[in-house]
Amino acid sequence: MKNRSLVIIACIFFSCTFLYSQEKTQSPTSDLSPTAAFWKEAYEKTFFGINGTKTFHIPADLETTVERRIKLMKELGVLWDRSDWWWHIIEPRQGEFDFSTPDNILKYFEERHIQIYPILCYGAAWWKERNAPLNDEEIEQFANYVSKTVERYKGSFKYWSIWNEPNILPFWAPEPNVEQYAKLLKKAYKAAKNADPDCVICAPVVAPVGQWDKKFVGRLLQLGCMDSFDVFDYHYYRNNMPEKEVPDEIADIKAFMRRYGEEKPIWISESGVSALIENKPDSYHRQAALVVRNHLLSFACGVQRFFYFDLQNWNDTPKETWDSKLGLIEAGWTPKPSYHAYRTMVKEVDYKKIIGRCPMPDEELEAVLIYDEKHNDYILAAWLARDDVEKKTIEFVCKTEDIKIVHPYGDVEMRPLENPALPDQLTRTIIIEIDRHPRFIHYVDDGAYLPKAGVRLMPEKIYMNPTETKPLKIHTDSLLGSAQMNLIEIKTPKGFLWDADKGEISCGDEVAPGIYEVSVSAEIIHGKKPQTTKVNLKSVIEILPATILSLRPYLDEGKSLAAATITNQSPWELSGRIRLESLADSGSELIAQLDSGTIKAGETKIIEIPFKKQIIDDMLKPSVWRLRFRQFESKPFHIYLAPFVEKKPIVDGNLEEWINVPRMEINRKEQIVRNPEGWSVEENSGFVKIQFTKDNVFIAADVLDDDPVYNPHPPNMLWKGDMIELYLGLGGPAKRTILNKEVDFQIGIAPTYENNKPIVFLFHADRVLEDAKAAYQKSSNGYTIEASIPLSALGKFEMKPGDIIGLDAAINDLDKDDWAPIGNEPGRAIMWNGSASNWIDPSGWGMAIVK
């Protein structure tokens, strides 16, 4: 009865709310008066939420802006609004609580049957110039606010978010600190559960840093936080095709949780697609397609609830950045195509069963199978995993009855059965034109699609160590009933053993770290009139290296230290000597060493190794350092000597006067950070040189490129084409893992932009450096480029001999005929020292000494 009642909820709700934007909106209570239990079940079972009204930002506008946004939410069919529940408003003075603002908001929303998902955040009113706690006493203050707030709203709110994006600035300031957030989360969880044992705590609510922040979350779980949340809540934003990234990412998150405990439900409380896409004249329709595809794939992979970000654009200024164009409606209240596509999706999907992704014969055809119990209706959401407007004619197998097709913006097409079905005829085929927009095809044949969507090898990803055994089972959806299965072929990599009867896979001790795949072919015999369907199943296994080492030298209050981070990914305790070494052609030289102590299984330990600063002061040429621990080595850490000069070089693209300046060599395959497939030295490599005057930084590069000086992108997307990236940490080598925009800078120097002129662009400020100069020259095998950048364009900086800074550089490359598979950017990037996360994490940058 429970599922049937939810179908009734959906029918009642959408009969009241699923209207075109020009029609008057009706309340769901206009035709009946549901009970509190009705709404409670509706809130609990819906898939959809949105970052909608921003009511805590504008509490005085309940009757105007907020009311208008609520009406739009109801037209969309959305019952959940994610909202800040700010500490500094609720406790304006320490020990004095004022709930008048949240009380008014709650009353207003309850009257309109909108459920709030509150975010317990940020800093206290009495903290100055920061919003994050610095010590245990301040964490206790936050926990007290959590306790008082959860207790007051017990019965109104069940789900609570602990903070928002604690892994990045500005949401955790002065600087993100996973150890402090771990302490806060543990205290907040206990405080909330004491106030309301039935509440559900959602964390860690991390922002994406290229992909989901595995580094931050991994450390959080190592610090024992797996038992301090009930729902894994995270954010992602992607403006590219999601068909590969979304399933892989969600499988990875589930596997990551299982490494530290039990898998928990997943919510996505922020995710958006911008309508501001370079060189995409139909970007509004593209946004509509990708919004729906992101949701469908997430639900098919097991995401429990999805809060789109956001309902409304921040502004409609054409030149604004991508994050101002995420809305389903314009700032001026005009619905975008994505608004209508989202509304169609909610009506077609909500309160139904998402069975899963359904493999199709055409590799470009993506499909998700949905079941509507009320009407015994199998619905196939189908689209092309493409980023253009191309179409394909596809044949689908359906029931022998009238077929309904719901098109992207809500148009309904009926395909009547033209001739009566023969007595033994159970199915018929129909031809539909499919493009990048999902279409919802009703009454497809469950015999054709249910076995493909409803049988999976689970889990879809596993993290393992050699000698470990993990669960791996074939999961069959309950809708298949008493279906039988015959295994046809099992393929396991060498060193693995899968016991299908026990549902376990074992890894031998000789298996090397890497990515492996288990594949199974099986026959499913199903249906009242038995039919056989062949399915191909797979699961990915990642064998972890026993130990990961990373090195970060830095200066702290006059001390010279090398931060050695050791992550023990093995099932055993480890200990030994950590050696800090300098590498040379003749071998290695010991700089310093220290005992590691015991490192527990699964533990990450940061050990600070003191070394003599004189070693840096006496350097006469660039150096490469590394860590050694037992049989393990860190990746090399590069130290550059940047000359301090009185005479400024002439910026003309001719590098003859740079001949005596040291090189930053960027020419090894292990330095590639984007698209290593097909890479060659001739296609993307070179060297970079840096020198300083008191007021300027000068950069020169000699690039090998078989299709040089090609960059068709606007300034904020220059990294996708031919370009030199320069990373400057003018505050010194960073121990922190999040970029500080006051002292850390990512600068792009591209050889060509408008009218084939070079350009210098400061990414984090999103502005062209007009006072910078740049020039390039083509060469027989690539190009040379040179630039001067005034330090005053970055802030109040002056350089002098002896200064030590963070430094990195990358060579980015794009050829005119470059192609990339779905979900990837074309082109290549190769980095001197760091990683693909350099743009947000300066801890991987190298170091430079100004000489």
User: Each residue of 242-298: pLDDT tens digit?
Assistant: 999 999 999 999 999 999 999 999 999 999 999 876 656 688 999 999 999 999 999
* Tens digit of each residue's pLDDT (9 = 90 or more) over 385-394: 998 889 999 9
Between 2.60.40, 1.10.3470, 3.90.1720, 3.40.50, what CATH number should domain 450-543 receive? 2.60.40
Q: How big is the chain by its Cα radius of gyration, in Å?
A: 29
If you average pLDDT over residues 221-228, what whole number do you get?
94
Q: Which residue has the tokens 């004249």?
A: 281
What DSSP character marks residue 154?
B
Q: What is the average pLDDT score of the chain?
A: 91
Q: How many CB atoms lie within 10 A of CB 792?
A: 12
- pLDDT value at 505 more than 70: yes
CA angle at residue 435 from 429 to 438, to 5 degrees? 80
* Tens digit of each residue's pLDDT (9 = 90 or more) over 33-45: 467 888 999 999 9
* Tens digit of each residue's pLDDT (9 = 90 or more) over 118-170: 999 999 999 988 899 989 999 999 999 999 999 999 999 999 999 999 998 88
Name which residue leads in pLDDT, 71 or 559: 71
**Do the beta carbons of residue 371 and residue 355 sit within 8 Å?**
yes
DSSP string, 312-350: B-S---TTS-GGGS--SB-TTSPBPHHHHHHHHHHHHHT
If you average pLDDT over residues 213-220, what whole number do you get?
92
pLDDT value at position 281? 66
pLDDT value at position 428? 85
- pLDDT value at 764 more than 60: yes
- DSSP H or E stretch at residue 68: helix 67-76
pLDDT value at position 35? 76
- DSSP H or E stretch at residue 215: helix 214-222
Lowest mean pLDDT among 2-6, 120-124, 309-313, 794-798: 2-6
- pLDDT value at 214 more than 70: yes
Show me where the domains of the chain are located.
Answer: 2-352, 450-543, 547-635, 646-850
Q: How confident is the model at residue 824 (pLDDT cuts 50, 70, 90)?
A: low
- The fold for domain 547-635 equals Immunoglobulin-like (2.60.40)
- pLDDT value at 5 more than 60: no
* Tens digit of each residue's pLDDT (9 = 90 or more) over 646-664: 999 999 999 999 999 999 9
What's the token pair of residue 666?
A: 């960027």
In the chain, the amino acid numbered 363 is E
**Same fold flag, 450-543 and 547-635:** yes
Q: Is the peptide bond before 174 cis (omega within 30 degrees of 0)?
A: yes
What's the token pair of residue 359?
A: 């493999």
Q: How confident is the model at residue 7 (pLDDT cuts 50, 70, 90)?
A: very low
Pairing of β 846-850 and β 804-813: antiparallel
pLDDT value at position 346? 98
pLDDT value at position 3? 44
DSSP string, 801-816: TT-EEEEEEEEEE--T
pLDDT value at position 416? 85
Domain 2-352 carries which CATH code?
A: 3.20.20.80
Name which residue leads in pLDDT, 175 or 436: 436
With a CB cutoff of 8 Å and minimum separation 6, the contacts of 76 are: 17, 48, 50, 328, 339, 342, 343, 346
Distances (CA, A) of 755 to 281, 569, 769, 783, 812: 22, 52, 17, 18, 21
**String of b and e for 477-493 (b: at least 16 CB within 10 Å)?**
bebbeebebeeeeeebe
Residue % of the chain over a pLDDT of 70: 93
Pairing of β 514-526 and β 484-491: antiparallel
pLDDT value at position 4? 39
> Is CATH 3.40.50.300 what the domain over 646-850 is classified as, yes or no?
no
Q: How many CB atoms lie within 10 A of CB 641?
A: 18
pLDDT value at position 734? 77
pTM: 0.87
The backbone torsions φ and ψ at residue 605, rounded to the nearest 5 degrees and listed phi first, read -125, 130
* Tens digit of each residue's pLDDT (9 = 90 or more) over 10-28: 444 444 443 333 333 333 3
User: Distance between CA atoms of 426 and 667, rounded to whole angstroms?
Assistant: 62
In the chain, the amino acid numbered 161 is S
* Tens digit of each residue's pLDDT (9 = 90 or more) over 515-545: 999 999 999 999 888 899 999 999 999 999 9
